Chain A
Amino acid sequence: MKVNPFVMPMVLIVALFGITLGAQATGNWTTSGRDAVDVANLTAADLKGWMTLQQVIDGMKISKQELYSIGGIPADTPTSKALKDMEGIVSVSDLRIKLTKPAASVQATPAPTQVVATPSTKGTPQSTAGTHPTPTPLPV
């Protein structure tokens, strides 16, 4: 059956918009992983590119030294830096894998609780350095 040629693009655009608007109307539309993550209680699988190193430290309840050591992150990197800005050093995917194993052992041994109590998500290296008087050496 012959139809008006414009039906072709119209049907496609209606399908695209219809599904999208339907999803938005029913609450099935997210364009960021931020809403789905409880930043206070992170697992390695929850790590996202927008998270800062401080948020990872706080959320995963590990020390700055542990995170930097596991991730191979230079010691002078500020904890306010987002993971996505460190793709050249360690990708989010690699960090997830690297943190998966240590995370289990970290939970078995009590972590420095001062870090967990830090409410700020925009901590600086100086502010967290004070909570760890004996920093572990970073791998060369």
Chain B
Amino acid sequence: MTVNNMFLEIQKPAAPAGARKWKMAWTQRVRHLVQFAFGAFIIYMSVIHNTAETDGVTASIDALCPFGGLETLWKFISTGGQYVSKTHLSNLVLGLGLLIGVLLAGGAFCGWVCPFGAMQDLLNWIRAKLHIKEIRVPEKLDRVLRYGRYVVLAFVLIQTITLVKLWFADWDPYRTIFGLGWLFEFNPAEAWGAYLVAVIIIIGSLFIERMWCRYLCPLGGAISLVGKLSFLRIRRTEEGCKGCNVCETPCPVKLRVADVKTVSSDCIGCLACVQACPKHDTLDVKIAPTWLDVFKRNRANA
């Protein structure tokens, strides 16, 4: 691309800068509104569960977690219908809903629905407001640390299958924070491990954007694996891209966007990159699963 061409592109943007900025803010506002709605719902359910006078009539947040479906799946299959303690049919239903959702739309659950993701976005907003410097994890280290999610996922599943109990419940920061046990039944003597993990994750997420999602979340690991097969993917058209890297700046999970054809399955579907891209028809959500590329390539070679 010549300097002249670059100048022409800047002179003739696909949309007025003001309009694009407003559109971007609007998209993210809708996302934050949806996140708030799901977060408020979980907190409401948690409050009525903690304040219910009769035990067992209100749903705990354990029963409303799709990851519980994955944790209890082995016992459900191997025993012909029994669940790991604290999990129920609702976990399997939500797990199935999420599986179908991820196969269709990738990791949008993490960016739009998960209350723990929303909390981390809030922490990042607070960090920015307080002018605290963000810690940027070096790319090589970041790549290695991302495998942490799979390690946690494997460890949690092995422990759950071996011990036949919801082992992760004692450590899960999402459960600790949104279960509101710290508010209604503060018990550091018994739950100190859970509190410690939650505090570490909160402090970590204040300095490293979406730290839990990027490096430790077992559900995120499972979503990333299944998301490789998803129908909807964010794709970059190389011909239109001018290599400005603007798309990578707002990514909450720090993915490479500007030099890939398809954004990784670690994508949380927040759409910030799509909205940030200054050129139309360059970075878009497309019905274009990556497995179709392999299929087409094999067919062409045959």
Contacts and interface: CB of A to CB of B under 8 A. Distances in A.
A2 B284 contact: yes
Contact of A12 (B88, B104, B163): B104
Given A5-B274, A9-B105, A87-B190, A20 B97 contact: yes
Given A8-B271, A9-B105, A28-B89, A15 B285 contact: no
A36 B229 CA distance: 36
Given A32-B56, A49-B86, A88-B190, A5 B27 contact: yes
Contacts of A11: 101, 104-105, 108, 232
Of the four ranges (under 10, 10 to 19, 20 to 34, 35 or more), the interface on chain B belongs to: 35 or more
B285 A2 contact: yes
B112 A9 contact: yes
B285 A3 contact: yes
Interface string A16-59: 11111001000011111110000000000100111000000000
A13 B109 CA distance: 8
Interface string B100-120: 111011101101110000000
A90 interface: no
B71 to A, nearest CB: 14
A3 B232 contact: yes
Given A32-B59, A45-B82, A88-B190, A15 B101 contact: yes
Given A30-B90, A49-B86, A93 B285 contact: no
A87 B105 CA distance: 40
B271 A16 contact: no
A7 interface: yes
Contacts of A48: 56, 85
Contacts of B94: 16, 19-20
Contacts of B105: 7-9, 11-12, 15
Interface string A54-93: 0000000000000000000000000000100001100111
A32 B271 contact: no
Nearest to A23: B93
Contacts of A50: 55-56
Contacts of A109: none
Interface in B100-154: 100-102, 104-106, 108-109, 111-113
Given A1-B288, A31-B88, A93 B96 contact: no
A9 B113 CA distance: 9
Nearest to B55: A50
Contact of B285 (A7, A19, A20): A7
Interface of B: 27, 30-31, 34, 55-60, 63-64, 82-83, 85-86, 88-90, 93-94, 96-98, 100-102, 104-106, 108-109, 111-113, 163-165, 190, 232, 269, 271, 274-275, 281, 284-288
26 contacts: A1-B287, A2-B281, A3-B286, A3-B287, A5-B271, A5-B284, A5-B285, A6-B271, A8-B108, A8-B232, A8-B271, A12-B104, A12-B109, A16-B94, A16-B98, A19-B97, A19-B100, A20-B93, A23-B90, A28-B89, A30-B89, A31-B88, A32-B63, A34-B56, A49-B85, A82-B55
The 8 closest A-B pairs by CB, nearest first: A19-B97, A31-B59, A15-B101, A31-B63, A12-B101, A34-B56, A23-B93, A50-B56
